[in-house]
């Protein structure tokens, strides 16, 4: 899109004062501005005095005002990328290609493309993990300082009367959580044990028990005649958005996939501090080595661990907001790219995570959040898509980009990145907080190659867009407009070749 500076200012002043315009009006015509670089919106640049601003105070057209040239500003993207163990899942209908292979290729292609040469890009990954603490464990000793292992739990002896069976006894979990020693289990008779199995009744006779009968070997199942101790596993696929448990004989529910060994982990392996995620692996940069630095960083990653979405997004937004405050002439957006729903660390629930994005999208230096998800058909569960969309909307983007693992993940992921780049191009006009403009006298005009112009109206807010062409103010936490954002339909039009935009600014103060 090409951008032109303000049109005939004296004519505009006459219109704003209620006067007409004619071809004989004396006007200063500002020439065409530079085309915007890939990325960015527009910022009011150097101050220009409006013609007539020093005129007779008694004149109806006289006013004291200013205009600011429309200048392109740059775009910076901060990526928070999921490198949890599930990123190593092999894509269906592929020859051994994993989700990580596809996503890494897409990001490398994006940062190396000529179209992104003028876009600043930085990156960090999640989860971050403690050094020298293994991802998987069987007993506490495997974890060292990062324990306990999640297989160690407090148990208690339970006696229960079961219909048609009589009195039975078994070991059951005493409470949720893990333990190092018996001292971590405060209840009477409770003790800390490593428990990796469950007592399983034959398929033709499964009595209902009030608790879960845990075991390590068959001797732990002596109180449940006819049962066998089987190792607890986890179904390969999420079922309804939750991990489904299984054993070799019980198997998985429909759609759950195969029964894999349960992923016991060291409780202290994942880093949950926001400050750690606020430190980039590769800082936002426009240097000539930026693309190579990011590609090298991607190549060095080995997916592992779970999904601490809350602190990861919180850290990404903190870094992006700090960058935005230090670089007021640039737009900054955050991209959260993930293949899973939150599994650990706080905030863990989507409403709390969504508030992080909403808070970052307000204030003096708003930062928008875009969401890219890579999911199989059963991974999202009943409300996963709705939660991802809500997170995107709270962050100021329309909806999440949800990529199916059944498709071409590498192509679709790159398409999502390019759409995010294009969405931030020519769709926002930054307002200078120091300009003291009468924001009721700001107009946005769109012209096509034939010269036909459309004056775009203020629709009042994002909710007023619908299918309309128009724009609205984006305000900070105090309700002060900080930028103009055009509606999605208008933004689509702006990307058409030959479309130009004019930002017309009225008087700062009208003289009586």
> Quick one: average pLDDT of 370-387?
91
Q: Of 354-358, 395-399, 437-441, 454-458, which range is least confident?
A: 437-441
On the question of pLDDT at 497 being above 90, the answer is: no
Cβ atoms of 320 and 334 closer than 8 Å: yes
- Picking from 263, 268, 262, the residue whose alpha carbon sits closest to that of residue 180 is 268
On the question of pLDDT at 348 being above 90, the answer is: yes
Residues 6+ apart with CB under 8 A from 77: 119, 120, 121, 122, 284, 332, 333, 334, 335, 420, 421
β-partners of residue 233 are: 246, 261
Q: Of 164-168, 358-362, 462-466, which range is least confident?
A: 462-466
State how far the Cα of 108 lies from the Cα of 277, in Å rounded to an integer. 21
On the question of pLDDT at 71 being above 50, the answer is: no
pLDDT band at 477 (very low <50, low <70, confident <90, very high): low
Q: Report the chain's mean pLDDT, rounded to a whole number.
A: 78
State how far the Cα of 39 lies from the Cα of 18, in Å rounded to an integer. 37
> Quick one: average pLDDT of 217-232?
92
Q: What is the CA radius of gyration of the chain?
A: 30
State how far the Cα of 439 lies from the Cα of 509, in Å rounded to an integer. 11
DSSP string, 47-80: EEEPTTTTS-TTSSS-EE-EEEEEEE-EEEEEEE
Place of tokens 């898509």: 385
CA 102 vs. chain centroid, Å, equals 19
Which two tokens mark 11?
């004519």
Which two tokens mark 369?
């959040």
Q: What is the pTM of this model?
A: 0.67
State how far the Cα of 462 lies from the Cα of 470, in Å rounded to an integer. 10
Count Cβ neighbours within 10 Å for each residue of 182-203 and write b for 16 or more, e otherwise: eebbeeeebbbbbbbbbbbbee
CATH number of 75-129+270-423: 3.40.50.410
Q: What is the DSSP letter of 34?
A: P
State how far the Cα of 39 lies from the Cα of 264, in Å rounded to an integer. 44
pLDDT tens-digit series, residues 398-445: 799 999 999 999 999 999 999 998 776 556 676 665 556 666 777 777
Sequence ranges of the chain with CATH classification 3.40.50.410: 75-129+270-423
State how far the Cα of 116 lies from the Cα of 208, in Å rounded to an integer. 61
pLDDT tens-digit series, residues 264-308: 889 889 999 999 999 999 999 989 899 999 999 999 999 988 899
């Amino acid at each position: 899109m090409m951008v032109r500076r303000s049109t005939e200012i004296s004519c505009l002043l006459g219109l704003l004062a209620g006067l007409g315009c004619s071809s004989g009006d004396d006007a200063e015509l500002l020439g065409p501005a530079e085309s915007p670089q890939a990325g960015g919106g527009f910022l009011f640049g150097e101050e220009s005095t409006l013609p007539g601003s020093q005129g007779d105070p008694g004149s109806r057209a006289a006013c004291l005002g200013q205009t600011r040239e429309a200048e392109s500003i740059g775009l910076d993207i901060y990526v928070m990328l999921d490198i949890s163990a599930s990123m190593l899942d092999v894509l269906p209908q592929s020859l051994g290609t994993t989700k990580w292979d596809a996503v890494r290729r897409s990001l490398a292609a994006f940062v190396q493309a000529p179209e992104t040469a003028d876009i600043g890009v930085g990156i960090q990954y999640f989860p971050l993990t403690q050094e020298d603490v293994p991802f998987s464990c069987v007993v506490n000793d495997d974890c060292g300082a990062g324990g306990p292992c999640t297989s160690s739990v407090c148990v208690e002896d339970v006696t229960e009367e079961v219909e048609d069976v009589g009195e039975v006894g078994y070991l059951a979990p005493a409470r949720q959580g893990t333990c190092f020693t018996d001292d971590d289990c405060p209840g009477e008779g409770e003790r800390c044990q490593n428990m990796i199995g469950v007592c399983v009744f034959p398929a033709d006779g499964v009595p209902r028990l009030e608790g879960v009968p845990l075991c390590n070997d068959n001797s732990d199942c002596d109180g449940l005649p006819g049962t066998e101790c089987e190792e607890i596993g986890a179904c390969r696929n999420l079922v309804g958005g939750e991990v489904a448990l299984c054993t070799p004989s019980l198997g998985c529910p429909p759609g759950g996939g195969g029964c894999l060994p349960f992923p016991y982990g060291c409780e202290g392996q994942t880093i949950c501090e926001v400050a750690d995620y606020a430190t980039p692996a590769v800082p936002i940069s426009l240097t000539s080595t930026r693309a190579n630095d990011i590609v090298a960083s991607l190549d060095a990653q080995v997916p592992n661990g779970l999904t601490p979405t809350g602190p990861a997004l919180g850290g990404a937004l903190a870094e992006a907001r700090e960058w935005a405050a230090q670089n007021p002439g640039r737009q900054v957006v955050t991209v959260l790219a993930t293949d899973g729903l939150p599994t650990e660390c706080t905030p863990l629930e989507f409403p709390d995570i969504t508030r992080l994005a909403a808070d970052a999208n307000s204030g003096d230096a708003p930062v928008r959040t875009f969401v890219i998800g890579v999911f199989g058909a059963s991974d999202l569960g009943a409300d996963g898509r709705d939660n991802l969309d809500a997170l995107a909307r709270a962050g100021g983007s329309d909806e999440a980009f949800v990529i199916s693992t059944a498709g071409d993940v590498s192509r679709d992921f790159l398409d999502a990145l390019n759409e995010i780049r294009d969405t931030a191009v020519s769709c926002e006009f930054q307002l200078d907080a120091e300009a003291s403009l009468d924001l009721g006298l700001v107009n946005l005009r769109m012209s096509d190659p034939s010269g036909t112009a459309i004056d775009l109206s203020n629709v009042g807010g994002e909710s007023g867009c619908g299918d309309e062409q128009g724009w609205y103010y984006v305000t900070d936490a105090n309700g002060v407009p900080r930028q103009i954002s055009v509606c999605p339909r208008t933004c689509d039009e702006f990307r058409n070749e030959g479309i130009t935009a004019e930002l017309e600014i009225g008087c700062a103060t009208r003289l009586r």
